[in-house]
Amino acid sequence: MNVPDDLRYSSDHEWLRTDGATVRVGITDYAQDALGDVVFVDLPDVGAAVKAGDAIAEVESTKSVSDIYAPVSGTITAVNDDLSETPERLNDDPYGDGWIFEVDTGDAGADGLLDATAYRALIDG
């Protein structure tokens, strides 16, 4: 499994890329592999206030429907509208064009999340 060292991870298999107070979020390579072929993504609303741990989006695959949880608290500032037309980007490029949403965390940041080493330990059991 691809687990980039420069990202942070949640135990719910979301990745986070931090740029100041803005955090870009997607699902990990491990999660997309477990889901199978993604056929639909229900995106959160821009402007919505979210709390860490809240289910805020949904991914439907040929195998199941899975919730996507907010790994941090803040306000949704952007969503990847391209996923509406090409949800398979979650499978093809989970750490690039397959990002799902961005959150402005204010001063909260992304503390308490896993680094790549800890996430690898989690998925390796």
Inform me whether the pLDDT recorded for 8 exceeds 80: yes
**Residue 22: what pLDDT?**
87
Q: Which CATH architecture does the domain made up of 8-123 adopt? A: Beta Barrel (2.40)
Give me the residue spans of the domains in the chain: 8-123
Q: Is the pTM of this model over 0.85?
A: yes
What is the Cα–Cα distance from 115 to 97, expressed in whole angstroms? 21
Q: Which amino acid is at 77?
A: T
In 1-125, which ranges are continuous DSSP H helix?
Answer: 29-35, 82-85, 89-92, 116-123
Interatomic CA distance for residues 3 and 83, integer angstroms: 22
Q: Which residues sit opposite 5 in a β-bridge?
A: none
pLDDT digits (tens, 9 = 90+) for 48-96: 999 999 999 999 999 889 999 999 999 999 999 999 999 999 999 999 9
| 119 pLDDT more than 70 | yes
Q: Are 99 and 25 in contact (CB under 8 A)?
A: yes
Average pLDDT rounded to a whole number, residues 104-123: 84
